[in-house]
Copies of this chain bind each other. A is one copy, B any other.
Amino acid sequence: MQPFTATPAEAVRSLGELGLIAAIRRWLGTASPPEPFGIGDDCAVLPASRHRQLVTVDPVVYGEHFDDSIPPRAVAAKLLKRNLSDIAAMGGRPRAAVIALALDETVSRRWLEQFYRGLAATARTYAVTIVGGDITRQKGGLAATLTLLGEVNGPRVLTRKGAKTGDWIFVTGTLGGSILGHHHRFTPRLAEGAWLAARREVRSLIDVSDGLAKDLPALAPTNAIPSLCPPAIPISAAARTLAQRDGRTALAHALSDGEDFELLFTVAARADRAALATAWRKKFRTRLTCIGRFTRTLEAGALPLDEFKGYEHLR
C-alpha cells in the first residue's frame, strides 16, 4: 500500500495530533496497558524486576526497509520482529516497547491504522506491551523506530564474545534470498535463543541480520578464522531462485544477503554435538546445522569467507 495520499481528508493531518494519539490507543487496544504503565504520561512506568535488563533499538524506514509493495501490517510486524531477533540473540525474553514515528502529514490514516493494528497483533503474539511512543512531523519522510526492552531470566546472558579456537559453528534455519519475502515473514528465534543460553556448551550467540559473511566474524576468537564446509551451508529455496535469476551462485546469496534473522552460535570443541542435536530436535522443528569451526588457519576445502560481503548499511 502507498503510505502517502493526495486526498487531504484521508491524510493523518486531518486527525490532528490529539486525534491521532486517541486513534493509536484504539488501534493498539489491549497491546497497550493503561497509563502510567502505557501510553499517556511523560514516561511509561515498568514494574521493578529482579532480572538484568536488555535494550535494543531498530527502525523501519520507507525506501530502505519497506516500500509500497509491503502491506503496512507486515511493516509493523517486521519492525517488532527485527528487535525481537536481537533479544533472541542474547537468550532473553521480551518485555515492553516504545515506538517513535516520524512522518509527513500526507501519510494516510488507513496506512497508519493498518500499521498500528499489525503492531498490536505482533505484540500480542510475542507477549510484548507497547508502553509509549512519540509522533513527530518529518517533511517527506516515513520512519518508525522501536526500542525493545527485555530481560534475562536465566543465569547467563549469551553475548558475541566467548568462542574459543576449535569451537563448532552452528546456524538455525536456511540462509539467503530474504528479499523474496522472508525479510518480513520470518519468525524471531526467541525460544531457541533462551534454550541455547541455558546450554553450557554454547559459548557465544548472534543473530544473522546482515548476512553470514558479515556477521560471523563478530564471533571469531582472537587469532582464529571460520573454516566453513561449503556443502553444509543451509541454502534457502529463495536463494536458489534468486541465483537462477541473477547468475550469482546460491551459496553467494546464502552468505551475503541480509535479513535472515537466524541464530548463529558456537559450541565448545569437546562438547557432544550429537547430544545437542538430539536435545534440539526434541524441542524444536527449526533446522539446525553445524557449518564448520573456528581454526587458526583455513582448513583444506574450507570456504574463503573474505570473498563474500554482507549487507552494507551505508552504501
Residues of A within 8 A of B (CB): 12-13, 15-17, 20, 35-36, 40-59, 61, 63-65, 85-87, 89-90, 92, 96, 98-100, 102, 105, 131-141, 143, 145, 147, 149-150, 152, 157, 159-161, 206-207, 312-315
Is there contact, CB below 8 Å, between B207 and A42? yes
State A136–B85 Cα separation when bound (angstroms): 17
Is there contact, CB below 8 Å, between B137 and A64? yes
User: In the complex, which residue of chain B has the Cβ closest to the Cβ of A85?
Assistant: B42
Is there contact, CB below 8 Å, between B45 and A313? no
Is there contact, CB below 8 Å, between A145 and B90? no
**New contact pairs (17) apart from A57-B132, A64-B139, A147-B147, CB-CB < 8 Å:** A12-B314, A36-B157, A41-B160, A42-B89, A43-B54, A44-B54, A47-B52, A55-B96, A57-B133, A57-B147, A59-B102, A63-B139, A64-B138, A100-B145, A102-B145, A135-B314, A136-B313
User: In the complex, which residue of chain B has the Cβ closest to the Cβ of A133?
Assistant: B57
Question: Which residues of B lie under 8 Å from residue A313 when comparing CB positions?
Answer: 17, 135-137
State A55–B98 Cα separation when bound (angstroms): 8
Highest count of chain B CB atoms <10 Å: which of A48, A57, A58, A161: A57
Is there contact, CB below 8 Å, between A56 and B132? yes
25 A-B pairs within 8 Å (CB atoms) are namely A12-B314, A15-B314, A36-B161, A40-B160, A42-B56, A43-B90, A44-B54, A44-B55, A44-B56, A48-B50, A55-B149, A57-B100, A58-B100, A59-B100, A59-B102, A59-B136, A63-B138, A64-B136, A64-B137, A65-B136, A136-B313, A137-B314, A137-B315, A138-B143, A141-B141
CB distance from A195 to the nearest CB of B (A): 17
State A16–B51 Cα separation when bound (angstroms): 36
Question: Which residues of B lie under 8 Å from residue A133 when comparing CB positions?
Answer: 57
Highest count of chain B CB atoms <10 Å: which of A43, A132, A207: A43
User: In the complex, which residue of chain B has the Cβ closest to the Cβ of A131?
Assistant: B55
User: In the complex, which residue of chain B has the Cβ closest to the Cβ of A95?
Assistant: B53
State A138–B140 Cα separation when bound (angstroms): 11
CB distance from A136 to the nearest CB of B (A): 5
User: In the complex, which residue of chain B has the Cβ closest to the Cβ of A310?
Assistant: B17
Question: Which residues of B lie under 8 Å from residue A100 when comparing CB positions?
Answer: 57-59, 145, 147
State A315–B139 Cα separation when bound (angstroms): 11
Question: Which residues of B lie under 8 Å from residue A41 when comparing CB positions?
Answer: 90, 159-160
Is there contact, CB below 8 Å, between A46 and B50? no
Q: Which 7 A-B pairs have the closest CB atoms?
A: A42-B89, A147-B147, A46-B53, A43-B54, A42-B86, A145-B145, A43-B56
